[in-house]
Amino acid sequence: MQKLTKKIVESTLPQDKDLILWDSEISGFFCKVTPTGKKSYFLYYRTQDRRQRRPKIGDHGIMTCEQARNIAQRWLLEVSQGKDPSGEKQEVRQTPILK
C-alpha cells in the first residue's frame, strides 16, 4: 500500500474485475478501477452506530487525487464528530421537492 498519486492512478490498467487501490495516508480512502477503465475515488468508514458507508467522492480526471483526499479528510472529521456525510446526502436526495 502506498500514497495514491496521479501517476499511480493513471498508470493502473483495468483488470477482469474491479481493482481497489488503497491509500497509505488516509484510512479508508481508495480508488476503484473498473474493467471498463473508469477510475473513481471513494471513502470507506463506519458511522457511530456501526453502519458501513462507501460514498463516492468523485471521478478521476474530473478531480485530482489531492482534491479527493482533501474531501476524504473533511468527511472523516465529520464522522469523528458524530455526523454521517453519506447519510446526510441520502436524506437530501429523498426529501420531496415542492413545485
pTM for this model (two decimals): 0.84
What is the model's pLDDT at position 47? Answer: 87
- Residues whose CB is less than 8 angstroms from the CB of residue 82 and which lie 6 or more positions away in sequence, other chains included: 48
Asked whether 79 and 27 are in contact (CB, 8 A), the reply is no
Q: Options 3.30.160.390, 2.40.40.20, 2.40.50.60, 3.90.1150.10; which CATH number does 6-91 get?
A: 3.30.160.390
> Residue 43's pLDDT is what?
96
Give the pLDDT confidence score for residue 85 in this predicted structure: 84
CA pair distance 99, 97, nearest whole angstrom = 7
Domain boundaries, the chain: 6-91
Which residues of the chain carry a pLDDT beneath 50? none
